[in-house]
Amino acid sequence: MEVISKREADKTVIYLLGELDNHNSAYARSKMDALLEDVGTNIVIFDLKLLSFMDSTGIGVLIGRYKKMKDTLQMFVRNPNKTIDKIFQMAGLYQVFSKV
């Protein structure tokens, strides 16, 4: 998997690419932390368009990033596929990452 960021006006978009599971969660976590530490905007959107797979490991990764950065950043999510959307709904993730 890969994690990259792009600036969109006053927002930072963090793209998650590939598959997020237990095997690559440590890499995803450290890459996301590095990008969020240095983000330069108050609004971050996680774009999941190119995330082809995520299991409940991803819930832990995203909630962990939210807990670390919630005091300084507003975080949103966009473009989950249908299965990932189902996971977000059942875990209540849209309560902390509003869908845009």
Residue ranges that bind other proteins, judged by CB under 8 A: 19, 21-23, 29, 53, 55-57, 59-61, 63-64, 81-83, 86-87, 90-91
Cβ distance to other proteins smaller for residue 43 or 59: 59
Q: How far is the CB of 33 from other proteins (least distance, A)?
A: 11
**Please, are residues 16 and 51 in contact by the beta-carbon 8 Å criterion?**
yes
Structure tokens at 59: 């819930």
Q: How far is the CB of 26 from other proteins (least distance, A)?
A: 10
How far is 72 from 57, CA to CA, in rounded Å? 24
Cβ distance to other proteins smaller for residue 42 or 56: 56
Structure tokens at 23: 């095997």
How far is 53 from 1, CA to CA, in rounded Å? 10
